[in-house]
Structure 1
Amino acid sequence: MSVDLAHIRQVMAQADCLYNETEVEAAIDSVAVSINAELAERNPVVFCVMNGGLIFSGKLLPKLNFPLELSYLHATRYHNETRGGDLFWKAKPEVSFIDRDVLIIDDILDEGHTLGAIVDFCRHAGASSVHIAVLIDKTHDRKARPDLKANYVGLPCVDRYIFGYGMDYKGYWRNAPGIYAVKGL
């Protein structure tokens, strides 16, 4: 697969910065305070949703001041595209969480298909409760499951195609130091 790096660079050059690095870091600090207050005595198993949740998890976890078990899972609908398809499990959790609290850390709650499937999987596999932390909660009326809400939200976001802090544009710019919206999307 050939990638047009000039196009990828142009997307960043023309993108609108919705939240700069300072604003995102402050939001992560706020999420950490809430999680510390609510889960410190619950002995949670924490799952980072790959790849999008990697940066948010990496920034958030050192701010959680209690013992926890950490693992990851990888479920996707995007496959480096800008539109989601069927859910595909690349890696299911390998740590037991039966009768345990689970904290799922992901980059974004958009329509909720992927997160909903992950939550359902954890509940059916025996988690006593499932908590969701997302860096971004996108504001729109297309939620697949209106009942699915994140317990911890860093920032709200307008309904645009965004990237940065773990979210990608065609597999690129997960490393962007802020939350950016693609011009025209």
Structure 2
Amino acid sequence: MTRAPGSPPSLADAVANADVIHDRGTLEQAIDRMAVGIADDYAGSVPVYLTIMHGGMPFAAQLAFALGERGLDLEFDYLHATRYRGETSGGELVWKHRPATPLQGRRVLLVDDILDEGHTMAGIVAWCREQGASDVRIAALAVKVHGRCVPGVCADYAGVEVPDRYVFGYGMDFHEQGRNLPAIYALR
């Protein structure tokens, strides 16, 4: 199938030329495992649960339910900060939405689909600390395996590892498509 000039590459073609790295069952098991550790660490508190949009939404929703099953209450808010804006490489951090919930003296759990090199996350963590958060932790469904991470930025709670390839699905996009695929794919 030919695509119109300026239109995104075909998601169907991407899926056909990708490997399933983690299927839905594996991801759901990882989320349940993460929930156990998070519920233990936050027992007795109500953290500010900040979903990082757009990619973090599917994972954040599932993790929130798993935490609720374990008796942990959450105060929900979200943020949208990006360096990609539909591109495959990052630039300057752009804030599209900052949380309305005051963070002063609060424990904050940042929830995102993937932790790659960590440049975006480093900016988000720094902003939360500037707002007076007493504790900032990161829950990432996937962590990309490579040696290019921002020093000091790592997931406190990680679901699965993914290879150093273009990954998409389960919140991660392929040219703004496929975030709702129920598995993580990696282009060949």
CA distance in 1, matches of 2:133, 2:164: 32
Pick from 7, 12, 15 the counterpart of residue 9 of structure 1: 12
Structure 2 match to 1:132: 138
How many residue pairs match? The answer is 181
Match for residue 151 of structure 2 among 146, 157, 163: 146
Tell me the SS of whatever aligns to 1:71.
strand
In 1: Cα distance, 2:103 partner to 2:79 partner: 13
Aligned residues of 1:40 and 1:67 also touching (Cα < 8 A): no
Q: Is the 2:8–2:175 Cα contact (8 Å) retained in structure 1?
A: no
Q: CA deviation at 1:12?
A: 1.1
* Match of residue 172, structure 2, among 167, 171, 175: 167
Question: Normalising by the residue count of structure 2, what TM-score does the alignment of the two structures yield?
Answer: 0.92
Match of 2:184 in 1: 179
SS of equivalent to 1:70: strand
Q: What is the DSSP-based 3-state SS (H/G/I as helix, E as strand, rest coil) of the residue aligned with 1:95? A: coil
RMSD in angstroms over aligned alpha carbons? 1.3
Unaligned runs of 5+ in 2: none
Q: 1:15-94 to 2 correspondence within 5 Å?
A: 15-64=18-67, 65-94=71-100
1:3 Cα offset (Å) = 2.2
CA contact (8 A) 1:139 1:159 kept: yes
C-alpha separation in 1, matches of 2:17 and 2:33: 30
The 4+ residue runs of structure 1 with deviation greater than 4 A are none
1:8: Cα distance to partner?
Answer: 2.3
CA distance in 2, matches of 1:114, 1:125: 17
Q: Give 5+ residue unaligned stretches, structure 1.
A: none
